[in-house]
Structure 1
């Protein structure tokens, strides 16, 4: 079968089988479900908290499954549609578009969390004043669980568009709902709901798919085809050969053979279709901290906003194991948590987000700005904000090209950290990202070797990270040291050879993590008039204009209406807080342009 080809799972769960699953779960939990309301089911709460030790869910069951007051339900009613379900009727099904927020007024409903091959992880009983739903319902994505009425049930359904209005209008109530949605998504991630990935755990493509799903905060399960006992049976049931791996079983019951990220995203319902005649106030290219900040600020001020990113929200920041100097988080915050919450916040305000969508070009030679994307029609906008960030620069190392993804990684995430558990690893880089990576990897690896070209870390790394690294017994710092060559075999990296003050050093390792410099993501601007500096970073303000005038639009590029923020901007401070500041500042600068261009568009339309 061709890579990315689809088939239908023979064990897809339909309504009839779903009811049988529900009855099985009901028998197992009958005493518990019949004896108490959801919020007094202390044994369920204790079970979840025990399973989620050291997790964000510990002690937060009642935040994850709150009970609405009668007064709160009355505030929801104007946004909702009154609906009834008969006993056994499916309210929503895994892999199918969700109805939105479902509030139970009377009767009972059961929510079943399972993976794409039918393994049930949890079942929750919902009664009067409880609500069903999670993050997927904010934008109408397919459901990641099943909901079925266990009695004749009545409730309120708030569709996605009205749900966003509710969350913005009813602030305190919206906070309760959003908090529950996020915690429910965390619970799904921890217990492995959703797609199932089957393949060799060290396979390059499988690792890439895991990174992609994790970056988008999407739950999944991995079955290692080399060791899992169920692999032969699964392969037989889906008629898979060795060439078909990795295999992805999707929530809608289909399977993908050796898919790429775009094929998975399409099956999961992430790819947004844009209307060719629609004109946005703002199009943002890049969903890192700067792009997400500008999206939230712009949308909250009533502007229509579209965001494109080729991978997912967060940029390089999403890979930061812990940011400890970000204002307002005394205990630190992971890059994934920070950017995932920002992503949900943008969805709450109605931002149209398309991931993964690669922007191919910016068209500046016409009245209305346009961007060309790789999976749809051109998208028009009054203004464009470039926040495409920077990627780690590939150093010139003998053997690097053939080993990227096969033991050599740019940045680190839990996916790679799990691969190198109890092993020796090498990290290259002297900045904060490298420092955060070392601290994180040291909690998994047997030993971490940190290689830097300079003679000390003080000139490039924050003091708190230097002190933290100095206290780690399984980290060795190698100064004035650079990699000379890499050696590998058919499975991947086997040796890193470096040159230091005392000669060559050979590290027999399977994992190398590179945090080396910054390469701006501006290649897609080659045919546009946006000016860059000698390193490719975008010039803004007076530096971008031939006249050198210093008007208020300090983040505007050499092309009117096109702005640059965050790491891609020349002279920017490469910190998350600085990127967020850029995102807030740019919105104030685009209002006058949007107003004038709206007027021009209205006049042009009237004349024609």
Structure 2
């Protein structure tokens, strides 16, 4: 994604052109030099190639570099050219992830190659220059995603549950991608070659040309290089389980203070907050910010300070190796990570309401989040949403801008008992949101293909039932703590499965740190902690506060 406007024959990728593709001054280039080394390239030689690990950031000293996008079918799209004073990099180069575009020298080129470690050091050491470069890295990734080109190509029906699973993962991972319907002529030859004798749809064609058959998220993440850098240490200062707001906050503060940090998440970064289309009560964002944008910035910030962020990878067990640690975290792929301290920020998993056979419709009309992908699928249609908390209110308002009608079903009689007043008022002022109080879904109907065809709900006050041909049902009824992986080590939990910390731990010694769990050197923050406020701001605050306790534990 390394583009510029110098000599470009194509329209700008991003309206903030000056910020996205800045030209460094001679003095700024001199400040870059100590962090890299000068390399020379022959005409036509590749500086990096899509789908293969990039060496780092290139600052061009002389010559021109052509940047093009290429998909797995070999189709190329000229992007831009970069010349002297401009740099080739995007957010992935902070951790050495595979490049998202091709870059070839047009004639002899001389450039400073700044490897990922050097780039991170530059961003931290030089605040002014680091700010310009970091802003450009983020904007370039955004521009690539918005361009709709580059990255893996997914072949499959847009409403197929497996396609949605893969697209959702790539979208939440901020990774460019494209989709092709099976009947598209572009996919015909590929289908004929790969499908008859090898597995079902969807197919995923990587920029390298490799073809995956309905891959798991772990396989896709590994093949795309999303799974983070290979651990560079045998023993980390801190391992953080969960890359939601709490975990990312802890990673930023711990890594910025010089601790070696690894972050492990089963899905990707952002957690449940990452699926929120607008957070309006977070300090400093009076017009609101999407959960994806907030978590995306935090992700780049954590990588800037050197945190290893690995996803998707599931922690299956926490093992105590000594009386006061360290701890080993066993992973679902058979690997493990060892750390002196552990921060549990694994959040919660979506709770299923007691609706018969609801699991068979998940990904086929039943959704636990509301993103632009789901909004596009239900555009102009009537939908139902179950839930009375802030997440449900935010989703209802967002969906109302796309659906013809949003039926908001709550079990209680008063929406104001569980939802912030500003959301209650906004829902009341939105004409196509219908509040159905004391109402619950009792049955789901299926199409011949197994997708949701309709649902029946019942009013608990008078017993009246109503069947509606609604094909999309959104569930926001809270979540259960994600703590199954800590149970074998006998960590103390409350009756609901949340991690007890501080004075709430049975038999806790006086002065026990408020965020420390029952095991020394193990801490819990965010939604997974018993007694937490279950708000983005609270999670981020706990992520910052836990670092002082980590320092104390390491010193002890």
TM class, shorter-length:
over 0.9
Whether contact under 8 Å (2:56, 2:113) holds in the other structure is: yes
2:477 paired residue among 498, 516, 523? 516
2:135 paired residue among 161, 172, 179? 179
Give the match for residue 496 of structure 1. Answer: 455
Distance 1:273 1:348 in 2: 13
Distance 2:74 2:232 in 1: 40
Give the match for residue 139 of structure 1. Answer: 95
2:428 paired residue among 470, 487, 512? 470
**1:540 to 2:540 alignment:** no
Give the match for residue 236 of structure 1. Answer: 192
Q: 1:456 to 1:351 in 2, by over 3 A?
A: same
By how many angstroms is 1:220 displaced? 0.6
By how many angstroms is 1:377 displaced? 2.9
Distance 1:472 1:120 in 2: 45
Higher mean C-alpha deviation, range 431-440 or range 465-474:
465-474
Distance 1:239 1:453 in 2: 47
Give the match for residue 225 of structure 1. Answer: 182
Q: 1:469 to 1:362 in 2, by over 3 A?
A: same
Whether contact under 8 Å (2:6, 2:80) holds in the other structure is: no
By how many angstroms is 1:301 displaced? 0.3
What does the per-residue CA deviation read over 1:2-39, in whole Å, with 9 as the maximum and x for residues that have no partner?
Answer: xxxxxxxxxxxxxxxxxxxxxxxxxxxxxxx9xxx936
Q: 1:427 to 1:592 in 2, by over 3 A?
A: same
Higher mean C-alpha deviation, range 233-242 or range 517-526:
233-242
Matches within 5 A, 1:368-517: 368-489=326-447, 490-500=449-459, 501-502=461-462, 503-517=464-478
By how many angstroms is 1:244 displaced? 2.5
Give structure 1 stretches of 5+ with no counterpart. 1-32, 50-56, 597-608
Give the match for residue 344 of structure 1. Answer: 300
2:284 paired residue among 319, 328, 331? 328
Distance 2:94 2:140 in 1: 13
Whether contact under 8 Å (1:95, 1:251) holds in the other structure is: yes
Determine helix, strand or coil for the equivalent of 1:555: coil
Give the match for residue 7 of structure 1. Answer: none
Q: 1:283 to 1:529 in 2, by over 3 A?
A: same
Matches within 5 A, 1:561-572: 561-572=521-532
Distance 1:435 1:149 in 2: 52
What does the per-residue CA deviation read over 1:380-402, in whole Å, with 9 as the maximum and x for residues that have no partner?
Answer: 11100000001221111112121
Whether contact under 8 Å (2:6, 2:82) holds in the other structure is: no
Give the match for residue 162 of structure 2. Answer: 205
Whether contact under 8 Å (1:382, 1:594) holds in the other structure is: yes
How many residues end up aligned between the 2 structures? Answer: 548
What does the per-residue CA deviation read over 1:262-300, in whole Å, with 9 as the maximum and x for residues that have no partner?
Answer: 110111123357569711100000000000000000000
Distance 2:200 2:531 in 1: 47
Moved over 4 A (4+): 237-243, 272-277
1:581 paired residue among 538, 541, 549? 541
Give the match for residue 205 of structure 2. Answer: 249
Give the match for residue 6 of structure 1. Answer: none
Give the match for residue 113 of structure 1. Answer: 69
What does the per-residue CA deviation read over 1:528-578, in whole Å, with 9 as the maximum and x for residues that have no partner?
Answer: 1211111111110011141x4441511000111100000000010011000
By how many angstroms is 1:459 displaced? 1.1
By how many angstroms is 1:454 displaced? 1.0
**1:71 to 2:27 alignment:** yes
Give structure 2 stretches of 5+ with no counterpart. none
Give the match for residue 528 of structure 1. Answer: 489
Q: 1:451 to 1:349 in 2, by over 3 A?
A: same
Distance 1:238 1:172 in 2: 51
Whether contact under 8 Å (1:274, 1:377) holds in the other structure is: no
What does the per-residue CA deviation read over 1:359-412, in whole Å, with 9 as the maximum and x for residues that have no partner?
Answer: 000012534211111124321111000000012211111121211111111122
Distance 1:183 1:145 in 2: 15
